[in-house]
Amino acid sequence: MADKYLELVNSGLTKKLATSLGLPRPSILRRYAPGEALLPGPVLLLGDSSSAQQLADTLLGWGLDVRRHAVGVNRLGGIVLMLDELEAPAELSAPMLAAGAALRQLAPGGRVVSLSREALDTDAPAVAAVRQGIDGAMRSVGRELRGGATANGIVLGHGVSPSAPSALAALHFFFSGRSAYVDGQFLSVDSADGTLPADFSQPLAGKVAVVTGAARGIGAAIAQTLHRDGATVVVVDVPGAGDALAKVANKVSGTALQVDVTRPDAGAKIIEHAVARHGSLDIVIHNAGITRDKLLANMDARRWDSVIAVNISSQLAMNEAFLAAELPGLRIVSLASTSGIAGNRGQTNYAASKGGVIGMVRASAASFAAAGGGINAVAPGFIETEMTAKIPVATRTVARMLMPSLMQGGLPVDVAEAIGFLASDAAAGINGRTLRVCGQSLVGA
Amino acid sequence: MSDTQQPIRPAVVIGGNRIPFARSNGPYSKASNQDMLTAALDGLVARFGLQGQRLGGVAAGAVLKHSKDFNLVRESVLGTSLSAQTPAYDVQMACATGMEAIGSLANKIKLGQIDSAIGGGVDTTSDAPIAVSEGLRSVLMDLSRARSTSPKLKAISRIRPRDLAPNAPGTGEPRTGLSMGDHQAITTKAWKISREAQDELALASHKNLAAAYERNFFDDLITPFAGVSKDTNLRADSTIEKLASLKPAFGKNLGAEATMTAGNSTPLTDGASAVLLGSEDYAREHDLPMLANFVDFEAAAVDFVHGADGLLMAPAYAVARMLKRNNLTLQDFDFYEIHEAFAGTVLSTLAAWDDPEFCKNKLGLEAPLGAIDRSKLNVNGSSLAAGHPFAATGGRLVATLAKMLHEKGSGRGLISVCAAGGQGVVAILEAR
């Protein structure tokens, strides 16, 4: 499962060889570990936004060294572009060029994050142009960065302040090693809802979280991440996976619930277990999923229907049960996939289910918000799991390296970190959205 | 004794877990008793979130045990996520091991000595202890005692080729030399139990167990092990014709009157089970379910050696005594879980309870205990379908019955387990 190529080009003699041959050299990503610095150096705050000073104060409060100029700084940990008040494309020049001048100082694992506003159909054309232009510019920055550095953006909805809790939480997430494999992406903040955690290392303290499909792979990583972040975790999987599930439950000091999510009473069982045994149900991660790949020309009903039933129909049914139970503040995060965005050969059924998830969260956002909660999705790209380990070595090496800007596959924990962020109360202002965790893969938007 | 004696409090069955039972020398042939018991315990810990907890005690056992497993249960506990401060001990009472372990733990809870416990059992006939012959053992012992070369050589010279043959454990009774099946064949014949009645009971066991799986009854009672997620002995498609076609396996000396086949007798099986018990306060404090009260249990033994009773008839006595103590009749139960060592055992026991003569002469009762409503017997299948890893059967029965009672929401259940050596343990559970 390990990415041998990544190890080889980053160590010893083979590192020298790879460099002299000009081979692509993916970097070891800066991943989160409790207690580590938020950024690998000072943060440069660019842009003339009226909120800049307020943001600078917040960043200082996070213990960061905040600079308004790159002069005299050898190594930058991050660059923040405050672009939320731009009104015409020409105004983008100064901040982008200032960022460009500082890029060479950006440390490995550094972060470039923009703050801008959503382009609306009702905007003046010049306003919409600059706002949409930021999208293209930032994604391009992502493609130019090296050393495991990433570029992402926060898009503020109409009337949402840059210091809205979810905007700050998104900024904190992008800075942190938690977003290691998120690159070239935008998080939209639609409201001023949400509260920042008292302790950023325990954002889920006191929460009861259910993770479906938790016996292995990404699901097991999600359970561990939510547990690390303070949640009490109920792990769910089909009865046949119960032995692996029990091991995960015992690792995260949670409880195991063996239930097939396609059962009509799965939602009721989950609610009953969480509430009876742990007192509440605050978070549900719809991770259970299967693949039954076949070219459409060779597809049969069994393959098609089972994928739809597990990956999307079960989530729709469980969500109805959760809404009917009126669980206060319930936050849901659902697993989509880049296949559901860009398509993938041999995965018409899977892509239909995963595209379905993206549509489902968008259309369910209002209902969950009404109960004080929210629903979002995470779309992983190429993730190193038991499933992808079955892809032939050559194909896998190419897939993980040549496609994404970060030139490597992600790890289950990278997906788990994004899910943990969206599951937290601090992300309450983000609703109905899909965040890609794909290392800025070439596929899709 | 102090005179500040505590009143007796209820012992509650919180839940159970077992690994699927597998026919001997099948999928678990490389698993040890410790592997299987650890897996059953870990599944229970995961189901109820017991990680790091110091429980009042864990008692379990195995009928077929390697001498190196002298501390089997404690060693298993050390391999789980339970607190290492959880005491544990081995129990051994043949096929009643699990019931005795659970019952004695329930007593400790009732007395207020402990608040929580796990009882259960495990057995494997695939990884059975093989011993060296008595001849070789005697030489080896002398060898280890010898101080110089000459006595050592002398000891070695005593080894004969026949001493090299290993001794495998059998299920034969040491005092009669008869296998358990051959013993039961005598009883089955004495009670005039027909082949058809035995085959019908076996078929019902398979059908009931299959239906229980079908309605996901075991989702919170079983955790898969070694790639197995269902009892491998289960034959959901069995028919009365198939069972009727089998040749007798026991009591072959009875000739045409032999009725016991591989179909209406339990096969050798590997597996493990565990049951979580606690006081009401313990369950409430940990937000755990309370499925049933473990009301009472009773052991009995019969003199099968001199032929006064059948080897597996002890539960008939134990039930009579336990009913009297609890002011209950045999008909006061909503479920009967009578361990199907052999279909003949269940049917002989039922016949005995309904027989005025047996009840008067043997049990000392004015009137027979009477018949039971057969629709309440082993309604989710029993050992004929699930298999019977000796010491693990008690845990299977208690957890299954407790869940059935809790689902029903009221009523009482009776458990009856026979055991080698002419023993048996029976118990009463009450719904919560």
Question: CATH says A37-189 is which class?
Answer: alpha beta
Any A CB within 8 A of B253 CB: no
B66, B95, B183, B306: which one is catalytic?
B95
Cβ <8 Å between B51 and A250: yes
- Please, are residues A190 and A159 in contact by the beta-carbon 8 Å criterion? no
Cβ contact B47–A247 (<8 Å):
no
Is there a contact between B224 and A239 if contact means CB atoms under 8 Å apart? Answer: yes
> What is the chain A residue with the closest CA to B39?
A243
Determine the pLDDT at residue B169: 64
Check whether B364 has a pLDDT greater than 60: yes
Contact between A370 and A362 (Cβ < 8 Å): no
Instruction: Among A242, A263, A279, select the one facing B223 at the smallest CB separation.
Output: A242
Lowest mean pLDDT among A351-360, B55-64, B162-171: B162-171
Per-residue pLDDT band at A2 (split at 50, 70, 90): low
Instruction: Mark B207-241 as b/e (b = at least 16 C-beta within 10 Å).
Output: bbbbebbeeebbbbbbbbbbebbbbbbbbeebeee
A208-437: which CATH number, 1.20.58.760, 3.40.50.720, 1.25.40.10, 3.10.450.350?
3.40.50.720
What is the average per-residue pLDDT within A131-141?
96
The more confident residue out of A403 and B369 is: B369
**H or E element in which residue B154 lies:** helix B149-156
pLDDT of residue A398: 67
pTM of this structure: 0.91
Domains and CATH numbers, chain B: 180-217+295-430 (3.40.47.10)
A241, A249, A258 ranked by CB distance to B220: nearest: A258
A406 vs B336 pLDDT, higher one: B336
One-letter amino acid of A253: S
Q: Which band of pLDDT confidence, cut at 50, 70 and 90, is reported for residue A445?
A: very low
Is-catalytic flag, B359?
no
Tally: H helices and E strands in chain A: 15, 13
Identify the H or E element spanning A423.
helix A412-423
| Predicted pLDDT at A444 | 45
Whether the predicted interface score ipTM is above 0.85: yes
d(CA B53, CA B259) in angstroms, rounded, equals 50
Asked if A279 is an interface residue toward chain B (Cβ–Cβ < 8 A), one would say: yes
Residue in B81, B225, B289 closest to A243 by CB: B225
Tell me the residues of chain A between 243 and 262 that have a Cβ less than 8 Å away from chain B: 243, 245-247, 249-250, 253-260
Q: For B131-142, how does the pLDDT look when each residue is reduced to its tens digit (9 = 90+)?
A: 777 888 888 888
Instruction: Spell out which residues of chain A touch residue B218, defining contact as CB-CB under 8 Å.
Output: 239
Question: What is the average per-residue pLDDT within B374-394?
Answer: 97
pLDDT value at residue B373: 98
Rounded average pLDDT over A91-107: 96
- Asked if A214 is an interface residue toward chain B (Cβ–Cβ < 8 A), one would say no
Residues of chain A with CATH 3.40.50.720: 37-189, 208-437
Q: Residues A200-213: what's their mean pLDDT?
A: 97
Cβ proximity of A88 and A126 under 8 Å: yes
**Is residue A98 a contact partner of residue A64, using CB atoms and an 8 Å limit?**
no
Per-residue confidence band for B9, with pLDDT thresholds at 50, 70 and 90: very high
Q: Which positions in chain A touch B39 (Cβ < 8 Å)?
A: 243
Interface residue B216 vs chain A (CB under 8 A): yes
pLDDT surpassing 60 at residue B6? yes
- Report residue B337's pLDDT band, with 50, 70 and 90 as the boundaries: very high
Q: pLDDT higher for A7 or B101?
A: B101
* pLDDT tens per residue across span B264-291: 999 999 999 999 999 999 999 999 999 9
Which of B223, B287, B289 minimises the CB distance to A246?
B223
Distance CA B192, CA A136 (A): 89
Q: Rounded to an integer, what distance in angstroms lies between the CA atom of residue B124 and that of residue B120?
A: 14
**Residue B184, CA atoms < 13 Å, CB-side half-sphere:** 30
CB contact under 8 A, B222 and A239: yes
The percent of residues in chain B predicted with pLDDT above 90, rounded, is: 82
